[in-house]
Structure 1
Amino acid sequence: VVQEIVELRRIGFRFIALADDNFYPVTLEDLEMASRRKDPRQLHELEAIRAERFELMEQLARLPKDLIFFTQITMEAAQDSEFLRAMKKARVRGALVGVESVTPDGLKDIYKEFNVAGDELVERLRQFRHNGVAVLGSFIFGLPSDRSDTFSATVDVAQRSEVSFAQFVMLTPLPGTIDFKRWEEEVAGKEALVNGIPLTRYWLIPPSDRPKVYMPHPSMSSEEVRQRTQTAWDDFYSFASIWKRSRIVGKVSERLAFLLISKLYRQMYANTGIATDSARVSRASGTARWMAKPLQRFFAAPKMPDLQVPQI
């Protein structure tokens, strides 16, 4: 991993995403449970995995100071101050956190009851910010327990939690999930055909003709969920909200860049409707490219062809 990062920095890249589904592979609770079970073998394995991650972060910290890293992480990391300090030292400045839902019932819907809700959720998310890690919070709408007021309540929690970015996605039946199995059973024998392909095999439909597929909701139509989801995007990414969040950076030029990046993120991920055709995607991509052009200088860096892998 470090060798690949060094090679990227040699040719001028300085913002790098560490594409790990969970950058925090061993939680404090994992260690505590192994200890309580008096299982020295498992405890040793977990401690070794944790030590490897700290070693990686130590190596990252020794790389050029202009390198900035982003990753994905679970909420449990907010309780591990030692790990957060190591992330800060390694310049892991951003992390996608799967919050999913801000209500206890919503967390039950997605089998994530180990996450927290309400004010406790707000405080957990703030811990990342207080340790120099900007959070991209990911929230799901359209869960069976969602009501009409869930959307605004979710935006409110995202704002109070001081997350720098947020994405609001509609519940989609992804192959291999319980949701997909339930949806497939519900529409069996009556699913629509697109180009002769059953909607339950939507990934086989050509992208230009592929409709958006969402899980049916018990009390709201897909269109209502879609409209309320778009409103959540609009509220979170309003100019006033973005400018307030931009205080995490210092200079006015950096705050303006933060504003533009926020608007770019919203343009790329929230402007498609319930069905996306190729022309619509092309327009969205063209606008995104136009918005991104002024930001290129913030992401480029002078090449360092002689950079070597640091030794610990």
Structure 2
Amino acid sequence: MKVTFVHPSIGRRPGENYMRTWQMESLPIAALAHLTPDDVEIQFFDDRMEPIDFDAPTDLVAIPIETYTAKRAYQIASTYRAKGIPVVMGGFHATLMPDEVAQYAEAVVIGEAESAWADVIDDARHGTLKPVYKGYDRGSLDNVHFDRSVFKGKRYLPLGLVETGRGCRFPCEFCAIQAFFGQTHRRRPVDKIVAELEQIKHEKRLFFFVDDNFAGSIPKAQELAEAIAPVNIRWVTQMSVDAAHNEEFVATLARSGCRGVLIGFESLERDTLRAMGKKFNTMGGGYANALANLRKYGIRIYGTFIFGYGTETAETFENAYDFAMDNDFFLAAFNHLTPFPGTPLYKRLKDNGQLHYDAWWLNDAYSYNTLPFDTGGMSGEEITQRCVQARKKFYSIPGMMKRGFDKLNRGDFTMMRAFFLINYLHRQEVNKRHMLPFGDPNWSGELLKVA
């Protein structure tokens, strides 16, 4: 038996080759590859950076699907299914929109796939695939492992991805993570994380702990940080800003090799944060104390901001940009609000009649960077324009130089080198992703629905 894994891209721009050579590895693929029996042959195509060989023989195609990649995933699935090859889909979008996904695949995995994959493979062997497989609800992460051999020969970013936990306990209105995991947070066993890092630490110079919120449990995160300190690696992660008020915790992160954190500031306005369900961002006296702690211990910041709650003015964008520049953020994202299906935000906008179209991710009129809803305030077009302007200024040559030679950002040679490389790549992305169509407009097939 042969299984083909495919990681779909967001889309393509007509007349332009958008095969990027700087993507991050796909850990969900590596997790499923590890769970696949040794007597099953595996091949993997990453649609973001290489063409898919649809003529290569295979018995089953497995596609992880997110909302942004749904349209392209259905095109890929239809191409295989037209050849009589069954397709199984899983991931966030498959869990939050199972009825939609089931129209384009012989099987859908709802929830986390680890507990269901053995059944999928066994049924595929015998030609008895079921329409739906359900992973155990938030089971143990003791047996999560990754087969990174599937990445060989592909030009990914020189960044080692490691999963130490899943989920987040905070109820942010717009976040699909809390919808998928039910506001829970779980940690993999510390000894297994340390063993994994020891095994792969010589392969990369920098590691990214891909957790939705590394500080989902501060005591457990501190225990892990203390355990990995002897491994002697540099690493970055994502965490909520509340944890940065705990100076002892921040100091522990720094001693363990943490060099940067992605933090969702999202807004500088308290009323907007309350509407987002992020009132916790205002604790501890606000952002100033948290930022001071991170800077004191040499931890760089990737800050994110979201616009579209109907309260924006031109000053809102200027303040966010100034905040990121004044604090010399390593990176920053200025994004419009996106109503992902399954989130409280999506339900609210739909109930209020604010959505322009229900399945915006499949609508041909929608493209990357546009707002698929009426904000009740500033127009979607102006929000898009101001987000793009903020990105262009932030990643301008003067902007990069100012931030790059900040004492913190140049304080570590590896991180300083990474700063200019990653900022340059983000600078290129501002225009490349703007108004990018979802799916491949040049795809000439027909979306095949399950009979």
Which residue is equivalent to 1:163?
329
Q: TM-score, normalised by structure 2?
A: 0.49
Q: Could you tell me which residue of structure 2 aligns to residue 149 of structure 1?
A: 315
Q: Does 1:249 align with 2:440?
A: no
1:288 corresponds in structure 2 to none
C-alpha displacement at 1:100, in angstroms? 0.7
CA distance in 2, matches of 1:263, 1:125: 24
What is the distance in 2 between the residues matched to 1:55 and 1:277? Answer: 42
Matching residue's letter, 1:61: A
Show the counterpart of 2:367.
Answer: 211
Say whether residues 1:272 and 2:437 are aligned partners: no
For the 8 Å contact 2:312–2:378, the answer to whether it is kept is no
Q: What does residue 132 of structure 1 align with? A: 298
Alignment correspondent of 2:82: none
Structure 1 range deviating more: 246-255 or 176-185: 246-255
Preserved contact between residue 233 and residue 270 of structure 1 (Cα < 8 Å): no
Once the 2 structures are TM-superposed, how far is the Cα of residue 60 of structure 1 from its aligned partner? 1.4
Give me the identity figure in percent: 29
Letter in 2 for 1:259: F
Structure-2 residue corresponding to 1:57: 225
Q: Structure 2 residue aligned with 1:17, among 208, 214, 217?
A: 208
Q: 1:235 to 1:122 in 2, by over 3 A?
A: farther
Match 1:99 to one of 256, 259, 265: 265
Q: Assess, with a 3 A threshold, how the Cα gap between structure 1 residues 92 and 156 changes in structure 2: closer, same or farther.
A: same
> Cα–Cα, structure 1 residues 168 and 214, in superposed 2: closer, same or farther, change >3 Å?
farther
Q: CA deviation at 1:257?
A: 5.0
The unaligned stretches of length 5 or more in structure 2 are 1-192, 442-451
Q: CA deviation at 1:181?
A: 0.8
Separation of aligned partners in 2, 1:255 and 1:266:
16
Q: Aligned AA for 2:299?
A: V
Q: Deviations over 1:222-278 (max 9, x none)?
A: 111100000111121221221121122158997565223212124336642345256
- Kept after mapping to 1: 8 A contact 2:245/2:289: no
Q: Deviations over 1:160-209 (max 9, x none)?
A: 23321111110011112222012223449xx77xxxxxx41234x39x88
Pick the aligned partner of 1:2 from 194, 199, 219: 194
Bigger relative contact order (CA 8 A; separation at least 6): 1
Residue of structure 1 equivalent to 2:37: none
- Tell me if structure 2 keeps the 8 A contact 1:70–1:92: yes
Query: Alpha-carbon deviations, 1:133-157, whole Å to 9, x = none?
Result: 1111011012221112110111111
Match of 1:261 among 422, 426, 436: 422
Match of 1:73 among 216, 239, 246: 239
Equivalent residues of 1:109, 1:145 under 8 A apart: no
Q: Which residue of 2 aligns with 1:223?
A: 381
Judge conservation of contact 1:223–1:274 (CA < 8 Å) in 2.
Answer: no
Cα deviation, 1:61-113, whole Å, max 9, x if unaligned, reads 101x3x21111111112211110111001111111101010111221221212
Q: Secondary structure at the match of 2:280?
A: coil
Contact 2:404 2:416 (8 Å CA) reproduced: yes
Contact (CA 8 Å) 2:303, 2:329: kept in 1 or not?
A: yes
Structure 2 distance, partners of 1:217, 1:20, is 30
Measure the CA separation in 2 of the matches of 1:115 and 1:75: 6
Cα separation, 2, equivalents of 1:269 and 1:5: 33
1:211, 1:112 → 2: CA distance?
Answer: 28
SS state at 2:314 partner: coil
2:321 matches 1:200? no
Deviation at 1:56, TM superposition (A): 1.6
Between the aligned partners of 1:156 and 1:163, the Cα distance in structure 2 is 11
Equivalent position SS for 1:17: strand
Contact 1:179 1:215 in 2 (8 A): no
Report the TM-score when normalising by structure 1.
0.69
- 1:111 and 2:277 matched: yes
1:308 aligns with: none
Structure with more helix by fraction: 1
Cα distance change of structure 1 residues 252 and 179 upon mapping to structure 2, 3 Å threshold: closer
Q: CA RMSD in A?
A: 2.9
> Which residue number corresponds to residue 299 of structure 1?
none
221-230 vs 126-135, greater mean Cα deviation: 126-135
Per-residue deviation, 1:130: 1.9
What amino acid sits opposite 2:376 in the alignment? P
Cα offset for 1:210?
Answer: 5.4
Secondary structure at 2:335 match in 1: strand
Please give the alpha-carbon distance, in whole angstroms, between the structure 2 residues aligned to 1:252 and 1:80.
Answer: 27
* 2: CA distance, partners of 1:278 / 1:129: 41
Alignment CA distance shift 1:74-1:252 (3 Å): closer
Q: 1:223 to 1:83 in 2, by over 3 A?
A: same
- Match for residue 87 of structure 1? 253
Aligned-partner Cα distance in 1 for 2:199–2:422 = 26
